[in-house]
Structure 1
Amino acid sequence: MTPGNNGASTPEEDDPFGYLYADGQANGATPPSGGGGYGYPGSVNRVRAVGERKYGQQTAQGTYGQQATTAPYGQVPQQGGYGQPNAHYGAPETVPGGAQTARTPMPGHGDGGGRGRGPNTKGLLIGAVAVVAAVVIGISVAMLGGGDDGKKGDQAGPTASTSQSAAPTDSETKASDASVKLPTIDAKTVRLDGGATPASDVKGAKADGGFYVNGFNQVGASLTWTVNGIPKAGKYSVYIGYSVPGKDQTATLTVNGTASDTPVGLKNWAGAPGGDYEKGWTKTYNWVQLNKGTNTIKLSCEQGNQCDALIDQMWLVKGWVNS
């Protein structure tokens, strides 16, 4: 072969822009037309027009000079022989009458038509309301429980006298008296039985005129106080003013006919020396349960008691004192 222009008879010699040059025009190169390609007649159609190729399509290259065809959806394209048309895969939407594809919405999301439902906000709202309700119920139970504890302290007990404590201070007695004013009585004015008699020889008694009850140191001796005007049934503390000769003594308390299981502790809180009644004046208290209106409170020397004491006064305060 001699040097020169051999024409555009082979694909590698095909110049898609040959029609722009004089020698290309001489050899029959033409501009692109409606369905043809660039270059010379019979050239390979390598270039597709913009938008001709569909997304998702696959093409199979046919034999030289042949146009590829589209295989039906789902079929594997078969390679044709020389000069035979070759099938290639085509998306269903490119086949006449092919199926139309649509995106299936995920559960819980909208379908584009406004018929889908959003997040499950109703369930979240119900859960939040349940948590708030549980907290409110817990607080209410705690508050009611605290109130019950307070009420239990004011309920009546089964016995007339449930406890006897240490010697009270003056400030404790005054604080109790300030809330509810209850009767106070001198021991000499109550009913005396069993050899108990008034006396005033020992100094230091706080009763009017310095009187006190003597002769209490024998079994059967007693002082009975009839108390009127109790405003409300409930808990009270009965105080007893007394003196002991430098050693602890005991007595029995009976309220409305019921004797207490706990003895009245007439202890030497004043720290008086042995035999010195004058320096032994002090006071103590017991818890009692009283009825509304009239009640009887009896202090007596019973079998098993050590009753060597002088009694000068008795009085009541509301509630059970704590010291």
Structure 2
Amino acid sequence: MTPGNNGASTPEDDDPFGYLYADGQANGAQPPSGGGYGYPNSVSRVRSVGERQYGQQAPTAPYAQPNVPQQAAYGQPNAHYAAPETFPGGPPTVPQQSGHGGGGGRGRGPNTKGLLIGAIAVVAAVVIGIGVAMLGGDSGDGKAGDEATTSPSASQSASPSESATKQADDTFEPQKIDAKALLLSGTSTATDVAGAQSDGGVYVTGFNQVGAAVTWNVSGIPESGKYTLNVRYGVPGKDANATLTINGEAQTRPLNMANFSKAAEGDYEKGWTTTYASITLNKGTNVIKISCEQGNQCDANLDQLSLEKGWKN
């Protein structure tokens, strides 16, 4: 080395920004161009491990040590440091423990099995919650249940709907009544003739006279229309008939009480049988009257009356 100005007095005094100051410019500092710190013939030194930033070009100078590896690009091992195992005779290289293997080394990877179990548990909890909500509803703070009980839903109504009322009205149970329970006029009851189906075997007798009548006040008729009146009676082996009146209007055809059982004349016990009449009733309450009028043959006992919807064929 020849005497002269070699830049800063010592390598530690090298100022990479010396060219920005007057004294640095007086000493010949120039902007860096890939070499030293900016002073002519400045000393280039190998920095300690970790001092240099990745990607920074190592300075070169006449006094730089030979065969020093240059700084590697970002993401590559530091050129100024080599692990002992890379030198000849260094300790053997120990493979890094895999994160997927057993053991508790620091290189162990994430516990994917635990994550999978956790995810399954979350899904199961959600499914259970949905099932409970569908079965019993969300109890919450009680508001949902209060709303369901205090106000009708879309399918409900505070009052019965027309369709529900109509369906209830259309339902008609056949009605039956014993003749002794009817309103009697000019008649009486008896139990002498066996075979009557009324309670206690009681039937209505004394019907064989003009003005005798039985009246049935029928309520609960769901709708106006066709109905059938069934009458169980007994005759002494001969035909009989009577006048049938519905709501004050006498029917054009008399009630036929013929000897359908083919009993012998005078045999009331064998003469029990049934007849029917097709009538039309109004919705609500109706008055049905069977009477013995002029021109009728009324020698008969009356046992029971019943009512059903529609006409028989």
Normalising by structure 2, we get a TM-score of 0.45
More relative contact order, 1 or 2 (CA 8 Å, 6+ apart): 1
Structure 1 length normalisation: TM-score? 0.44
